[in-house]
Amino acid sequence: MNPQAPREQLEILEAKNLLRQLHPLDSAPGTRIARNGRKLWNFASNDYLGLATHPEVSHAYIEGIHRYGTGSTASRLITGTCTPHLTLEENLAAAKGTTAALTFSSGYTTALSSIPVIVGKGDHVILDKLAHACLIDAARTSGATLRVFPHNHVGKLRTLLSKLREKHAHSRILVITESVFSMDGDLCPLREITHACSQHGALLFLDEAHATGVLGPTGMGLAEALGLQHRIDFQMGTLSKALGLSGGYLAAKRDWIDLIINRARPFIYTTAPPPALAAAATTSLAIIRSPEGGTLRKQLFKNIESLKPQHPSPIIPLILGSESEALAAAATLLEKGFLIPAIRYPTVARGSARLRLTASAAHPSEAIAALLTALSQADH
């Protein structure tokens, strides 16, 4: 219960430097964008390979509309499933080395659909402390008992697992983590986590939202990069980041996917994503897995190397501390022509407000050079 009027609540947020507002772009969300009548270099998007404006992906989308219309008109279990949905899901399953895959309206609903089917009351979920909001919300919704381990701390994870197993020899335990953390850009110690899970008979759910398209020989993520796909029970990802579209996916064994189709409320009770979108995603996935995708990843990592040597992902956090410092730094960079947003509580912990800089293969070298100059000036 919050008895304060909405205006009062907004004023409190503003006084704490925590008010958020929508800022529309007047252009496509490429690397060069227009906002408020100004041209800016965009270092804020998750379009890591530039596929959101790729001509072949756009063409597949438009062709899909010509063939299948603009909307799916019904839920997946009524008449909303068209051939392109199944083609996309077959290609995702093959790419992930699983027997099945299912797509959803978003990454958020992928978590919300699947996790409460995998675990429920009497089961246990163990989450990394920095897991994405959708994973936390899904775990809460499931009714399972929640535990959290300190970020990437496999020792603590092992302790939690063995304590739970001592008390609950037969209950289901689901460990949930991400391959590339969305606000820190670091990787999880996946190999050690898979060992810990199999040792204690726990299932592993891995969110590859920021690794899909980015890591691995065919861009399928950290599990592919480490040759561990067969050790992950649930491989989740999104079509909204490197694929440049919108939607989410889960790759898993056929029985789990069939159970999710039967039980997941956010999957069953919503209209299917447009078939044209699924057709575009199939094209995007094919580009990611092709030699062109490999070339784009090479360019992406060259850009990352220029911005922050040895960094493992396109998400580069510049941690400032207070909300006001982060806002001031974002404003200074905006003044110089760079869009790099301030990320504040509750997206990140209090005292760790930051700029979240993201690199793309599509950034020209002049943009990267100009940004490095602007950042070094800001240091003084």
Could you list the active site residues? 46, 132, 178, 182, 207, 210, 241
Q: At what angle do helices 365-379 and 323-335 cross, to 10 degrees?
A: 130
Nearest to ligand PLP of 128, 323 (CB atom): 128
Determine, following the binding rule CB under 6 A, whether residue 205 of this chain makes contact with ligand PLP: no
Determine, following the binding rule CB under 6 A, whether residue 317 of this chain makes contact with ligand PLP: no
Determine, following the binding rule CB under 6 A, whether residue 210 of this chain makes contact with ligand PLP: yes
Residues in binding contact with ligand PLP, number by CB under 6 A: 13
Determine, following the binding rule CB under 6 A, whether residue 356 of this chain makes contact with ligand PLP: no
Three-state DSSP state, 84: helix
Nearest to 89 by CA among 237, 188, 192, 226: 237
Nearest to ligand PLP of 108, 338 (CB atom): 108
Determine, following the binding rule CB under 6 A, whether residue 106 of this chain makes contact with ligand PLP: yes
**Of these, 100, 101, 193, 209, which contacts ligand PLP (CB under 6 A)?**
209
| DSSP bridge pairs for 338 | 41
Nearest to ligand PLP of 207, 323 (CB atom): 207
- Take residue 86 and report the two structure tokens written for it: 């199944």
Binding mask 225-244 for ligand PLP (x = CB under 6 A): -------------x-x----
Nearest to ligand PLP of 300, 367 (CB atom): 300
Distant-in-sequence, close-in-space partners of 155: CB < 8 Å, separation ≥ 6: none
Q: Is-contact 149 192, C-beta < 8 A?
A: no
Angle ∠(114,238,246) on CA atoms, nearest 5? 110
Determine, following the binding rule CB under 6 A, whether residue 108 of this chain makes contact with ligand PLP: yes
Mark the segment that binds ligand PLP (CB under 6 A) among 67-75, 100-108, 298-306, 364-372.
100-108
Nearest to ligand PLP of 205, 301 (CB atom): 205
Helix, strand and coil content of the chain, in percent to the nearest 5, comes to 45, 15, 35
Query: Residue 131, Cα to own-chain centre: how many angstroms?
Result: 11
Determine, following the binding rule CB under 6 A, whether residue 98 of this chain makes contact with ligand PLP: no
Nearest to ligand PLP of 176, 353 (CB atom): 176
Distant-in-sequence, close-in-space partners of 331: CB < 8 Å, separation ≥ 6: none
CA gap 168, 17 in Å, rounded = 45
CA gap 340, 186 in Å, rounded = 19
**Of these, 50, 107, 275, 293, which contacts ligand PLP (CB under 6 A)?**
107
Determine, following the binding rule CB under 6 A, whether residue 182 of this chain makes contact with ligand PLP: yes
**Of these, 47, 89, 128, 178, which contacts ligand PLP (CB under 6 A)?**
178
Give the shortest CB-111-to-ligand PLP separation in angstroms. 6
Give the shortest CB-238-to-ligand PLP separation in angstroms. 4
Nearest to ligand PLP of 103, 164 (CB atom): 103
CA gap 244, 351 in Å, rounded = 32
Give the shortest CB-169-to-ligand PLP separation in angstroms. 32
Q: Is-contact 247 76, C-beta < 8 A?
A: no
Determine, following the binding rule CB under 6 A, whether residue 134 of this chain makes contact with ligand PLP: yes
Say if residue 9 is exposed, middle or buried (CB neighbours under 10 Å; 0-12, 13-18, 19+). exposed
Determine, following the binding rule CB under 6 A, whether residue 207 of this chain makes contact with ligand PLP: yes
Determine, following the binding rule CB under 6 A, whether residue 42 of this chain makes contact with ligand PLP: no
Query: Residue 354, Cα to own-chain centre: how many angstroms?
Result: 18
Determine, following the binding rule CB under 6 A, whether residue 72 of this chain makes contact with ligand PLP: no
The Cα-based distances of 12 to 9, 181, 186, 199, 350 in angstroms read 5, 30, 33, 48, 16
Give the shortest CB-294-to-ligand PLP separation in angstroms. 23
Q: Interface with ligand PLP by CB under 6 A: which residues?
A: 106-108, 132, 134, 178, 182, 207, 209-210, 238, 240, 248
